[in-house]
Amino acid sequence: MVFFQWVEQSDRSGIGWGKFYNAMAKVLGHEGCIQEFCEVLRKMRGKGLEMDRDVYVTVTDRFLKRKMVEDAVDLFRFMANRPEKLSKEDFVVLLKKVVVTGDLDLKLVTRVVRYYQHAGNDVKAFTFHSVLKSLRSVARLGESGRVLRAIKEGGFAPDSVDHEKAILAMCDAGNLEEAHNYLVDVEKSGNENVGSALEALVSGLCKKKGAKEAFKVLKNLVSEKNVVPWQTTYKYLMHKLIRQGHLKQAFEVLGLMKSHGYPSFIDPCITHISKSGTVDDALGLLNVTSSKGLPSRTAHVRLFQALLKEDRHEVAQQLLSQSPASIQNHADVRDIFSRIKMEEPIPAALADG
């Protein structure tokens, strides 16, 4: 530094000041000389000099290896003020290092994105995908939502795909409560494509905690937050609930689908009830498919046909006896049961007679 100051104070023509300051920055850029390093940068800026990229890369690598993340971000800010734009590689590499090195500092994440944006650069969609890979490498996927929020604060505008990736990552990490809270925040922000993120959350909950817990979360979001799930989300959850033996919740899903104007998706319910369901199960399904207090003839007919096809005649007869008169006397229903009687085998004793 004494030599540096002596050269600065001398009036020597022919000195390549840019090379001189870059050489000093390269030497002083380590943990023992941060104040001196910052002084060199300040003087470079005052003289309108720029740091060479190779010097920047060398010093940044040195800082990151020693976990001097904040110093690396400060140097990135210095570089961002150059007339020459930063490369996307420099930006992504630093951002990935920030999220994996030491304790996660979300303010540094925001700063990196903000400096890059203010320098006239666009943060592309692949950025968050790259960050997710780094988070996975250090078992920090559970922080995906917080990291995406920090990137957003820096000026990045995430789309539904980014939100979905964040929620899936949190579900993969078992951070389901945070994934739920994140989805609520996305819905509050007015994101029109919240259905994609909700489907990811429901899928993650089904895998980690079971369909019943997934239904509980979905029902709460629908009733409390006015979220409208995709039809595919409802169908997926229906299949999972029935396979895991939660028929009551499956019926509730049918009710939610009806409230959102989706057509009744009773196929998996009919298949399950026809094979192993009780009369009460059948009545539960028929009740939820009724409209304005009127029974659904289609649902009754399909259920009777399915039960008889599985040779569950007794259950079908019991269900018929508990059905409204309008159903019992309907031509289609009477035809189904009359054909069954006609097909019944004649007892051997009567045949011999």
What confidence tier does 12 reach under pLDDT thresholds 50, 70, 90? Answer: low
Please give the residue that has the higher pLDDT: either 231 or 192.
Answer: 231
How many other CB atoms sit within 10 Å of the CB of residue 11?
5
* Number of Cα atoms under 13 Å in the Cβ half of residue 232: 7
- What lies within 8 Å, CB to CB, of 51 at 6+ separation is 22, 25, 41, 44, 78, 79, 82
Q: What is the mean pLDDT of residues 139-146?
A: 94
- Determine the pLDDT at residue 201: 87
- Determine the pLDDT at residue 35: 92
Please give the residue that has the higher pLDDT: either 19 or 238.
Answer: 238
The candidate with the shortest Cα–Cα distance to 265, out of 244, 241, 293, is: 241
- Determine the pLDDT at residue 20: 84
Mean pLDDT of the chain: 88
- What lies within 8 Å, CB to CB, of 41 at 6+ separation is 25, 51, 75, 78
Full DSSP string of 223-287: HHH-----HHHHHHHHHHHHHTT-HHHHHHHHHHHHHTTPPP--HHHHHHHHHH--HHHHHHHHH
- Determine the pLDDT at residue 215: 95
Question: What is the C-alpha separation between 259 and 248, in angstroms, rounded?
Answer: 17
* Inter-axis angle of helices 88-100 and 126-137, nearest 10: 30
Q: What is the pLDDT of residues 303-325, one digit of tens each?
A: 999 999 999 999 999 999 999 99
Least confident segment among 13-17, 78-82, 274-278: 13-17
Q: What is the pLDDT of residues 62-102, one digit of tens each?
A: 999 999 999 999 999 999 888 777 788 999 999 999 999 88
pTM of the model: 0.71
Q: Tell me the sheet residues that pair with 291.
A: 294
- Determine the pLDDT at residue 249: 96
Determine the longest span between alpha carbons in the chain, in angstroms: 133
